[in-house]
Structure 1
Amino acid sequence: MPLQTAVDALADRLRALPQSTLARGSAAEALALARELAGRAERIEEPGREPRAFPDAGMFAVGDQVAVAGHDLVEAVRAAGDERELASAVELVRGAAVRC
């Protein structure tokens, strides 16, 4: 699935970034992405319910947070069969990858 491929590639890249790069904004960008992906998954799985707060686990955890949130969205999209959401999420991840 293109979304899973994009998420995995970005998560791996984030895990390999040096602290200085993470501190200059890549970690914040990745956390914002993880929060958006998690929120999208929750809105698909539980329509009408406000998404739960997504924690900031620190700059060294953002790669894992992107992976977990992205994989949750992959499963939600797969279950819902929402191709528009899939395409939108892939573009979101690719855009964040460029900014990171």
Structure 2
Amino acid sequence: MLDVTPLQTAVDALADRLRTLPQSRLDQGAAAEALALARQLAARAQLIERPGETPYELPDAGMFAAGDQLAVAGHDLVEALRTAAGRPVDSDAKVAPADELAEAVRCVRAAAERC
């Protein structure tokens, strides 16, 4: 069983922090950073769930929704990784779930440092 707790914890912490930032801070780039990360996590989840299909782009719902969008995309990736880890090994898989998890955690932590 793949332990996705590090990703879920990192996503939740950053999303919570984004929800409390003042508008000025969101406007200075924190919201854009969060949206870019949410889009990346959403695309990763979609590629796991529907390999070979082009991922849909997460829309921009505005700076005040950035934390919520990050939380939703992050939780989608958590569930996609849990499901993928429970399946038999797929020789066509581009990245193993554990490697995908590690990369996602790294991306969220790096974004948290910038926000």
Given candidates 7, 10, 15, the residue that maps to 1:6 is 10
1:80-95 alignment runs, 5 A limit: 80-81=84-85, 82-95=97-110
1:7-86 alignment runs, 5 A limit: 7-81=11-85, 82-86=97-101
SS in 1 for 2:32: helix
Q: Give the TM-score, by structure 2 length.
A: 0.86
SS in 2 for 1:56: coil
1-side partners of 2:107 and 2:80: how far apart? 16
Unaligned runs of 5+ in 2: 86-96
1:19 positional shift: 0.2
Give the AA of the match of 1:62: A
Give the AA of the match of 2:41: L
Runs of 4+ with deviation above 6 angstroms: none
Paired-residue identity, %: 71
Higher Cα Rg, which structure: 2
1:35-63 CA-partner distances (Å, limit 9, x unpaired): 00000000000000000121000000000
Aligned CA RMSD, in angstroms, stands at 0.4
Q: Give the TM-score, by structure 1 length.
A: 0.99
